[in-house]
Amino acid sequence: MCGIAGLFPSDRPGCVESLARHARAMADAIVHRGPDDSGIWEDALSGIALAHRRLSILDLSSAGHQPMHSSGGRYVLVFNGEIYNHMELRARLADRQSWRGHSDTETLLAAFEVWGIDTTLRSITGMFSLALWDRLEHRLVLARDRLGEKPLYYGWLAGTFAFGSELKTLCAFPGWQGEIDRDAAANYMRYGYVPLPHSIYRGIRKLIPGTFVTISAETAPGTWPEPAAYWSARSVANVSELADLTDAEGVDQLESLLRQSVGRQMISDVPLGAFLSGGIDSSTVVALMQALSAKPVKTFSIGFAEGDYDEAKHAKAVAAHLGTEHTELYVTPADALAVIPRLPHIFDEPFGDSSGIPTYLVAQLARRHVAVSLSGDGGDELFGGYNRYSWGRSIWRHIGPLPVGLRRMIGRALTALPPEAWDGLAAPLRAVLGRHMRLPALGDKIHKLAGVIDVDSPAELYRRLVSQHRDSGSLIIGGGETAIWADAEAARCTRTDFSEQMMFHDIVGYLTDDILTKVDRAAMAVSLETRVPMLDHELIEFAWRLPLAMKIRDGQGKWLLRQVLYRYVPRSLMDRPKQGFGIPLDAWLRGPLREWAESLLAESRLRKEGFLQPELVRRKWQEHLSGRRNWQHWLWNVLMFQAWHEDVFR
């Protein structure tokens, strides 16, 4: 795991030393991604500079140093990530290559030299972002892994093409302007993240997952190179289902693929462990790790004193059953609150997922013991784990036939009581309801239902379900939402079942832009590499060939994944309602965070800065403080925008 950066001026610079100096400053801005080593390479004739920061995971010797040259001299590479099947690729290249070390970077270069760009990218299994300079063709190639586990930003700065693993690299360039894109800000307010391909800055983009772009000296400044796809989640989702696959065969095949993926991702020359929340996904990954390991696997979890948000007790029970070397840390509100001032710097953009706080804390805990940690992310999107996949489908089936006017009346009736009142009415029933009927935050769910009940299509229902703000143009002054890549991909997906449509939309949107962004930035902020076995592309392709009934059955998601887990962990340890990885944000905003929030949401400040509509923000804030409504997620998006703006422009 590393960080990369580089520059490729459209006109040949007169002094290559300044080019290298700028590239070094860009790389040094992300020293947290690679504290072990650094390197710069420049070509005075071509005007190209590549920079690298290294976190040593495979081949800790100097043979893994980057930028790295191919043995034939044609290519120079800077690479961030891991290629899990690189030893298999080496075996295929054995008669064409002599090896200097055992790094996957060297394997990549050999493959590029023998097979070319497209074939190599299609052949590798891993997570990565990379920049490859072709000295023969005088062209720069940027590429990103299939699901976007590793980040890559790029754009034009004062006529120079620049790229980097994080926005920090581009901000370190002398030509940096940093104009906020108000349309991207409007997208952020809806989703809680800035969606692909946009960034919060005008003129800077994120590379689409599963694609590569090519830039040459003939590329006109300001021109956006067209991404070429070597893999497509949409093409995978548009395949037909497996024929004549029994439940038992499905479980066997899924277990085999999971064991293969987990086994590959356990290869490391440094200490390795795993995050363990006690949920289905992380427990499955840890169970397979332990089955493949000759010694106890190191596992990590954090807990909160607030019972509704504490999963540590579940993780501890799973760890005890599997026999892992488990470390847990119960954090206080003060511990969590201390992270908040760091969030704008960690994420570089406004980022509204408050679970970034516990993610950072568990990464920080793990880094004290290991350099690599496996994660269970991706299981919900692939195997139907989110409640909205069954809940949203049920909603549309019931409300679709009703007149819109009647639905609006029902919505007004449901919001006549605040969420806390609904929770109070439901409290006496919890003692008699079955375990799966005890929905946490029932009042919030009722209000969310009221907010989607008047939709006119399944697509609009999904959009409402994942939106924190329905009309972000009314919040961002001078901004209006712009088209995003996930919507375009979803529109071309041929799946007709609403649950599968939602799952696909989450894979190309929410998973990449929120979940993987959160895990990468939070972990790399403490120099911890994270790996996600569920996102092995062979596993993804298998999941999309499964019938939906193997994912969602009897109203419960991840059916097939659960069957694999039950081979290792008793059902009694896992049979409980799904619980998110969150913090008691609603109460904190009314309590220990109130003064901080009030300063960011002050009306005079909002008017002076000129980005957010003061009247709307103040009304939501007062409603939340009074307890009439729970606007925690909406307000957190606004607060993270404000905190980011303060951090960048103070």
Tokens 């109203």 belong to which residue?
555
Helix (H) or strand (E) holding 600: helix 594-600
Nearest by Cα to 300 from 274, 323, 324:
274
140 to each of 68, 166, 217, 229, how far by Cα in Å? 15, 19, 9, 16
* Closest-CA residue to 576 (of 593, 596, 556): 556
In the chain, the amino acid numbered 167 is L
376 appears as a binding residue in the annotation: yes
Q: To which residue do tokens 């991702």 refer?
A: 265
The Cα–Cα gap between 280 and 551 comes to 13
SS3 69: strand
Catalytic machinery residues: 2
Distances (CA, A) of 614 to 194, 603, 620: 22, 6, 10
8 strand-pairing partners: 161
Q: Which residue has the tokens 């990885």?
A: 581
Is 302 among the annotated ligand-binding positions?
A: yes
Q: Is 490 helix (H, G, I), strand (E, B) or coil?
A: helix
Query: Annotation-wise, does 384 bind a ligand?
Result: no
Q: For residue 531, give the nearest of 248, 176, 247, 265 by alpha carbon.
A: 265
Q: Using CA atoms, how far apart are residues 471 and 245, in angstroms rounded to an integer?
A: 45
User: Does the annotation place 116 within a ligand binding site?
Assistant: no
Q: 536 is written with which tokens? A: 């092995």
Q: How far is CA 70 from CA 98, 141, 163, in A?
A: 11, 15, 22
CA distance linking residue 500 with residue 546, whole number of Å: 11
Q: Please give the Cα distance from 543 to 99 (Å, whole number).
A: 36
Please identify which residue in the block is written with the tokens 């462990």.
273
Alpha-carbon gap, residue 477 to 466, rounded angstroms: 22
Backbone φ, ψ for residue 211 (5° rounding): -135, 170
The kind and range of the H/E element at 482 are none
What residue numbers does the annotated binding site cover? 104, 302, 375-376
Binding site residues for ATP, as ranges?
302, 375-376
Binding site per annotation, positions for L-glutamine: 104
